[in-house]
Structures are given as C-alpha cells and as structure tokens.
Amino acid sequence: MLRLFAVVAACFVPAGTSLAQSTPAAFTNARIITITGDTIDGGTLVVHDGEIVAVGDGVVVPSDADVYDAAGLTIMPGLVDTHSHIGGIGAADGSGPIQPGVRVFDSINPRSSGFKRALAGGLTTLNIMPGSGHLSSGQTVYAKLRWAEGPPTSVDDIAVRDDSGAMMGGLKMANGTNSIRTGGANGFPGTRGKSAYLVRERFLKAQEYRDAIERAGDDVSKLPARDLGLEALVEVMSGARIVHHHTHRADDIMTVLRLADEFGFRVVLHHVSEAWVVADEIAAYEGVDGPDGEPWGAPCSIILIDSPGGKLEAASLILETGGVLEKAGAQVAIHTDDWITDSRLFLRYAALAVRAGMSREAALRALTIEGARMLDMSDRVGSLEVGKDADFVLLSGDPLALDTRVLQTWVEGELAFDLSDEDDRLYAEGGLGAAHDIQPYFCCYDHLIQGSGH
C-alpha cells in the first residue's frame, strides 16, 4: 500500500497527529484536485492552524514545516455528504406528522462507528438528518468529523457553528409515500393533497406567530407563548434555515417548489428519483435569493443506487439523473443516505454518475463544493483554497478509479483516518469490532473477543 513518508522524520504520520496545532505541514509532489481551480500535477499543499495556507505549484514551503512527500498520490478536498443518517439518530415520533421543533442533535451518538466509516470513505462534513416518515421530522445538524483524538465525548465536538456561535443545520421535510402513512392515524395525511394542506396550514400559523412577535416589539407582555416548532418554521421563512426535502416523484417535486414559492423558503431537493422528468423546470426555478444575493434556485441532492429494489415511488430512479440535471443547468450534489448506500463507497457513486453521462468535473463538484453550497458552508469547505478549512483526502490514485483507496482523511489539519493504522483499517474493511458502538448488545461479545485474541 502506498504510504506517505516524512522527509524530516522518515516515518508515517501516526493517527491522532495534530500538526496543524503546532507547526505547518506541507504535502509535496502530489496531484492536487482543487475542484474550483485547475488540477495541479506535482503540487504542494500547506496547512497550519486548521486552515489551508498555500496550494499550487512553486509553493515556498515554510522552513519550520513538517514535509511529507506525496509523490504518486492524489489530494482532493474532504467530501461533503448532504444527506446522512449515521450516528444512531432519532427525531420525530408517531404522535403527529409535523414536528419541526425536534432536534436530531439531541439524539446523536458522537461515538458511533458510522462516523469512522465515513472518514474511511473520505467524508469530512455531513448533514445528519432525521428520517422521512413525517412531513417534517425535525432539524438537521451539520457536522465535522473531528476524530483525530479518537471518538468525541459530546455531539458539541462535531457540530458546526457559524460566526455567531449558533449551531448550523437545516429542517428535514418530506412528501410522498413515507410521510403519507396510509390510514391517517394520529393526524398523518393519508393522501398527497392532505400532505400539502397540512404543511401549508402549519406555515400559515408560523406566519401569524412571526407577525405577533414583530407586533409585540419590546413589550414582553405581548409576546405569544413560545412554540419551538413555529420558531423553526420562522427561521425557515427568514432564510436562516434551509429545508432539506425528501421527494421522489415528479409531481411531488413540483409540489415542493409550489410550497417554497408560497412561503419563501430556501430548499434543497433530496433523492429526486424522477428529476429527469422535470429537469428543465427544476433548472428554471429561481425561488428566493441566497446569501450571495443571487437566486437560490432548487439545488438537487441526488442518490445513485446500482441495484433494483426499494419503494415503488423510486421505481423510475435512473443513474442518468445527474447528467440530465447537469445538462439542464441545475445544481447537483450526490449523497449517501447512509445506510442506503455506504459512506465508504461515496467516490464510487460519482464514478457511476460519470458512466451514466455526467461530466467528470460536475461529478467531482457534486461530492464537494456543490454539497458545501447546499449547507451554506462553501466559504469553509468543498475546495482546496487558501483560507478554507484544512479538510482533505489523500488517495492512492484517481478518485473515480474503482481500485483507488482512501489512504488518509484530514479534518481541520488533523489526521482523522489512516488506512495504515490497524484500528482504522478495521473500519474501512470491516470485521470483528468494527461496529464498536453495538458491542454491549452482543450477548457473547466478551467470549468472542477473548477467543479472537483481540
């Protein structure tokens, strides 16, 4: 297996290394895929204090840097997954169809082995989502996989915060079969028409709640009783919180866009099995303005599945969707929906998209910068640019080659996954002990461990 060797120390960087906290680290002679700029052959990447401080050819390496010869290797940005369910998450329950006040943040197990599997696939940033069994199942959380020192002790250690210190995340919504729940028990809609009605009704209440707060001004006595669910919808309508919307059929996709227009919220369309049917409509949709003042549009976070099966409304899912959307002019990211597809194979799905007609450039962007934009994080992650977080992946070869391995994954300048480390390799390849978070539930686990010699 290819390994990096330090020019100054002649040894492989050990797991848990925190070079960015002390001295600069320079990776030289690599093929560097910047995503937003040209690919650089024989280039150098320098990181320090958790940020990228230089990238290119002809870079002057700081005299105090630890230098690592990456000849024959490829470096690209840490991968961004806009839709993941790892971390043992749970949010809304069966008591009602719309529960936007619930936070998936409060259910995440930060020590879940799923995070290490994601690192083994080169993932560094995730949008951790509740499920799709509700019209709104709760608030998502954007996470950085900060595992350099081992499993975090608190979900706060991986949560992404904005410049004000507020935790970043969106709102999970859904339509179609999952959230209909035929039968209508506990207020669940039972039909597509009733689904849209219930969503519209709740947003109208959120508008009234917002207006009441504005009328109250500084008079606390006039404030309405606090409602966490309506607060979340007000954040959605203000643009502070993006709706991440599960939707499959073409008619369901158009329903989402109508509701986004009516209530003025930013939306990312997830899965979109039949997006190829309405690709031109998706590409032409402008919606509200984004943070940069340009129309936000209707970005699509797609999933690619290379074997049949699943729900009936996804029967028309095709591998060509990414290419069709790209040609129409829509924004496209790729997601795992892990466990639906495995985070360790994330690069493979970009390769499948290219095989089905998506351009190489767009497919690589769909793993990185496009997903970052859909999380309002493109100023921090998604490309190798000076000033951005030092999130990057070292690969044994081209990212779209099926025999390429993720050798190392760095998060904010710290080594979080190293394939040459025996423990990390276990997460990458599987085996006894890889799913450590479920070990307490193995009735005979202690005997298995003793017998295995571990």
| pLDDT digit string (tens) for the chain, length 454 residues | 333 433 333 334 444 444 445 799 999 999 999 999 999 999 999 999 999 999 999 999 999 999 999 999 999 999 999 999 999 999 999 999 999 999 999 999 999 999 999 999 999 999 999 999 999 999 999 999 999 999 999 999 999 999 999 999 999 999 999 999 876 789 999 999 999 999 999 999 999 999 999 999 999 999 999 999 999 999 999 999 999 999 999 999 999 999 999 999 999 999 999 999 999 999 999 999 999 999 999 999 999 998 877 788 999 999 999 999 999 999 999 999 998 999 999 999 999 999 999 999 999 999 999 999 999 999 999 999 999 999 999 999 999 999 999 999 999 999 999 999 999 999 999 988 887 675 544 444 444 444 333 3
Element (H, E) at 193: helix 192-216
Domain ranges across the chain: 5-78+389-420, 79-374
CATH architecture entry for 5-78+389-420? Roll (2.30)
**What tokens does 213 get?**
């707060």
**Block residue for tokens 């949010």:** 91
**What tokens does 394 get?**
């070292």
Contacts of 334 by beta carbon, 8 Å cutoff, 6+ apart: 301, 302, 303, 304, 322, 346, 349, 350, 353, 363, 366, 367, 371
30/170 Cα distance (integer angstroms): 36
Task: Give yes or no on whether 5-78+389-420 and 79-374 have one common fold.
Answer: no
Q: Other C-beta atoms within 10 Å of 135: how many?
A: 29
Pairing of strands 51-56, 66-69: unpaired
CA angle 401, 406, 409 (to 5 degrees): 140
Q: What is the pLDDT of residue 453?
A: 39
Q: Are 211 and 78 in contact (CB under 8 A)?
A: no
Pairing of strands 171-174, 414-418: unpaired
* Phi, psi angles (nearest 5°) of residue 372: -60, -40
What ranges make up the beta strands (E) of 228-335? 243-247, 267-271, 300-302, 332-334
**DSSP states of 25-71:** EEEEEEEE--SSS--EEEEEEEEETTEEEEEESSPPPPTT-EEEE-T
**What's the pTM?**
0.92
79-374: CATH topology is: TIM Barrel (3.20.20)
Element (H, E) at 177: helix 177-180
